[in-house]
Structure 1
Amino acid sequence: MRKSERQQYLRQLINQNNIERQEDFVSLLTQDGIEVTQATISRDIKEMQLVKVPSDGGGYHYSLPVQKQLDTQKKLKKTLNNAFISLDMLEKMVVVHVQPGSGPALATLISQMNFGEIFCTIGDDSTVLSICRSISDAKGFKAKINSLLTN
């Protein structure tokens, strides 16, 4: 199965199921006769910018990202407001803690914004670290994140 077909199938699975873990994707695909590894699913999740959103019965499940017609800033604002936990700064570094699964998408969106004050941004499952060019740039970037959260 080609990557594009697999990712389309993942979209269908997300629309039909509350998928909480990458292993759930692997199990559902295996049940349908599609052999795939957890590492492949992990890469697909990152590329598709899937996010985890709260489930009705508690916990979190994967969801499709904001529709493509929204511009990057709107996507960034929505992702922040849906997944935000905390924001902190240390010298030139700004850290955003988010719901599990949201870190890669948020890091990508921050990078796509091309903020001049940011040297680089790194994201893992639930943390995004932006290293700014100066302490004043870090303060300015932190203020931008705060403004996206409050508006």
Structure 2
Amino acid sequence: MKENRHNVILDIIKKFEVETQEDLAEKLREEGINVTQATVSRDIKELNLIKTLSHTGNYKYAQANPNKNSSLSSMAYIFSNTAISVEKIDKMLVVKTISASAGIAAEAIDSFQLDGIAGTIAGDNTIFIAVRTEEKAEAIKREIEKLIK
């Protein structure tokens, strides 16, 4: 029963921009699956769903780890769905993310092991990246821009 519900949830979030747990519970009910908000909350955690910014500018649920075979591609997926912009200031890069996503996005940047990065610091929706040279900063900025688009 739980496995079936999880499969239905994954289908729903692929087809619709589901913004809240209540919306997800309603969609499940439309599919004939009666759930409580607590069950939906547990399912979201078990499925590793995250909130991402959709192309319409609203937040929606998405699967954080769509390809379990590749942690690097998973991190790129997470980064591309949470990062909004990147700006170069001298030898520093500033990456803006959706709210509460800077930590996981910074972890993704660290996992890419880009040459020239001295370190990253993440807040709630901002990441500061210290880069060793301005040339490396420009190259890393271009790489990050590719991931954002």
Range class of TM-score, shorter chain: 0.5 to 0.7
1:69 matched to 2:69? The reply is yes
The AA in structure 2 aligned to 1:83 is T
- Structure 2 unaligned residues grouped into runs of 5+: 1-5, 11-17, 22-36, 40-44
- The percentage of aligned residue pairs carrying the same residue is 23
Distance in 1 separating the partners of 2:101 and 2:144 = 15
Distance in 1 separating the partners of 2:100 and 2:67 = 18
SS at match of 1:88: strand
TM-score (norm 1): 0.57
Partner of 1:106: 105
TM-score (norm 2): 0.58
Partner of 2:148: 149
Runs (4+) of structure 1 exceeding 4 A deviation are: 18-21, 48-51, 61-64
Partner of 2:42: none
Distance in 1 separating the partners of 2:20 and 2:121 = 23
Offset, 1:116: 2.0
Partner of 1:116: 115
Deviations 1:57-82 (A, max 9, x none): x853565414432341x234323432
Matched residue count:
124
Partner of 2:91: 92
Contact map agreement 1:50 1:105 (CA 8 A) in 2: no
Q: CA RMSD in A?
A: 4.0
